[in-house]
Structures are given as structure tokens and as C-alpha cells.
């Protein structure tokens, strides 16, 4: 593919698309592009006041609904409120936080980035008509799935390794979901994407000196959120390969235009993916 941009976005009139974390950064850029293309966009956000401000600036039909991925009761309530959706974009996330726990006791990054989206997708799956897009990161390459201690209860917490685990879990979930959908002969597909390096608020909540360092990087080196959203938009609207992973085509996948992306070998480990799925079902109370 050559230099795919929002100018290539197919007409989305008549389609309903849920974007998690659409109140800022990549999610807001994604919602704006889809709304401009004619989609009805549901902004699924914990901070509904911020989401309302974003929605007010969008040209198409929008709806703001509360969704706190760090609270499974909120995930269930949101899922119950949705009648039909064409595309679910699992975009929301947190990065490199100090050790915190979700309302259900999970490590915050694993609980929000992976388990919240895992539960949401499974609860909505019978009402999704086209595809699920799950946003991972190049940081998945630093991750390792610890099935015995995914919530960092037995080992010393490392915020960056925890982030890497959560983003590896996102990618493994996207791949495993596609295998299961294909095995059932479903028309719905699962695709993954990553933004590369993009200037977003995600990098300003480490509550450490790293916030200042990343702020400088955002201002001087990082492509815009609009550029970072392109792989997600491509994965959500273009003719894509089921189970594929898309990201920027430039140096180290950090910037550029949407293209097929490589992944760590660990992301393709089917045994661990199946075990992670079973563990996630248990943790989310889905079985």
C-alpha cells in the first residue's frame, strides 16, 4: 500500500463505530476522522466531560457513553447499553503508571489495557457486525506474559515491564480472537494496530521525571496523534487481512504510513495465547 491517509478513508455513512478512550489523543483523532467520513461514533470514555467536549467538535452523529475499563461493572453496563455496532476499536490505555489496582483488584495496566478490553469485546461480540480492532504497541516486544502472576502480586513491580506485558496481551488477544472467530466460521474479523511513536497524553501520567522527558519528546520528535491514528483507521475501515497487525512503515515502525507490521515471536505463541484467554475469562468472570 502507498501512503494511505484519511483522504483514502472509505465512506462510513450508516456505520456505527465504538472508540474506547476517544476523549483525547489517538482516540479523539480516530473519532474525528471516522465522524468526518460519515460514521456514527460512540465515544466510550471514563471522563465523559472531556468526551463531550470532543464530541461537540465532531461533524457527524456522535454519542458519549461512560466506560471505565478499570471497573468490570462499568464494562458490563456499557456493553448492555449497546444494541448493534459495526466496528469496535479497543483504543484506550494507560502507560507506565506507579503500582495501582483496578476496582476488581487487577494491576492497573493489565486490568485496563487488556482485561477491560477483553471483557468488553466478549460481551459485545454477538452485536458486532464487521470487525474488532485492538490497539497494541511496539512496546509489546518488551513484554512477557506471566500467567502465574499477571497482576504483579508476587514479584517486584516494574512499570515498563507491566506496560509491555499489557500490550503483548493486547496483541495476543487480537490474534487469538481471530483464530476463534475463524474456527467458528464467523464473518466478524479481528485486526490489530499500533501507532508507532505519537504525541499523546498517554505519556504524561508516569508521575515521575519521565513525564518531563516524554513531554519534550512529544513536542520535538513525535508525529501528531492524527498521524499515529492512521494505522488504527486503516485497520478499522480498509480491506485488511483477518488477524493482521498494522503499524507505521517508517524506521523501526515509529512513524510513517499504515503497512503490515511485524511482531515479536512471543505474540504468535498459540499455547500461551490460549492459556491467557482462559485466564482472562476466569478473571473477568466470563465463565
> Would you name the residues annotated as active-site residues?
163
Antiparallel, parallel or unpaired: β 85-90 and 245-248: unpaired
User: Rounded distance, CA 126 to CA 84, Å?
Assistant: 9
Contact 90, 132 (CB under 8 A): yes
User: Rounded distance, CA 64 to CA 50, Å?
Assistant: 10
Q: For residue 167, which phi and psi values (nearest 5 degrees)?
A: -80, -30
The set of cell numbers assigned to 178 is 481471530
User: Rounded distance, CA 280 to CA 287, Å?
Assistant: 10
Is 195 exposed, middle or buried (CB count within 10 Å of its CB: 0-12, 13-18, 19+)?
A: buried
Burial 30-46 (b: 16+ CB within 10 A, else e): bbbbbbebbbbbbbbbb
> Which DSSP category does 107 fall into?
B
> Which residues 6+ apart lie within 8 Å of 221 measured at CB?
197
Q: Across the chain, where does the E strand assignment appear?
A: 16-20, 40-45, 62-66, 85-90, 128-135, 189-193, 245-248, 258-260
Amino acid at each position: 500500500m502507498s501512503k494511505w491517509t484519511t483522504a483514502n478513508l472509505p465512506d462510513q455513512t450508516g456505520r456505527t463505530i465504538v472508540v474506547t478512550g476517544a476523549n483525547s489523543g489517538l482516540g479523539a483523532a480516530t473519532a474525528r476522522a471516522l465522524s468526518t467520513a460519515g460514521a456514527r461514533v460512540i465515544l466510550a470514555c471514563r471522563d465523559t466531560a472531556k468526551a463531550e467536549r470532543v464530541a461537540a467538535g465532531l461533524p457527524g452523529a456522535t454519542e458519549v457513553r461512560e466506560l471505565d475499563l478499570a471497573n468490570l461493572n462499568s464494562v458490563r453496563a456499557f456493553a448492555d447499553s449497546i444494541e448493534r455496532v459495526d466496528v469496535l476499536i479497543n483504543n484506550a490505555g494507560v502507560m507506565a503508571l506507579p503500582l495501582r489496582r483496578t476496582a476488581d483488584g487487577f494491576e492497573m495496566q493489565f486490568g485496563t489495557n487488556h482485561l477491560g478490553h477483553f471483557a468488553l469485546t466478549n460481551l459485545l461480540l454477538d452485536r458486532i457486525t464487521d470487525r474488532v480492532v485492538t490497539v497494541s504497541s511496539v512496546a509489546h516486544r518488551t513484554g512477557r506474559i506471566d500467567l502465574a502472576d499477571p497482576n504483579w502480586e508476587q514479584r517486584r513491580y516494574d512499570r515498563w515491564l507491566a506496560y509491555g506485558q499489557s500490550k503483548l496481551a493486547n496483541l495476543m488477544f487480537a490474534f487469538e480472537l481471530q483464530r476463534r472467530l475463524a474456527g467458528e466460521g464467523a464473518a466478524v474479523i479481528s485486526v490489530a494496530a499500533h501507532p508507532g511513536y505519537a504525541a499523546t497524553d498517554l505519556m504524561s501520567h508516569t508521575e515521575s521525571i519521565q513525564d518531563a522527558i516524554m513531554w519534550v519528546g512529544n513536542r520535538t520528535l513525535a508525529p501528531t496523534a492524527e498521524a499515529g491514528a492512521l494505522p488504527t483507521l486503516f485497520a478499522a475501515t480498509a480491506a485488511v487481512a483477518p488477524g493482521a497487525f498494522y503499524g507505521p512503515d517508517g524506521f523501526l515502525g515509529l512513524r510513517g504510513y499504515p503497512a503490515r507490521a511485524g511482531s515479536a515471536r512471543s505474540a504468535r505463541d498459540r499455547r500461551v495465547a490460549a492459556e491467557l484467554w482462559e485466564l482472562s475469562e476466569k478473571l473477568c468472570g466470563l465463565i
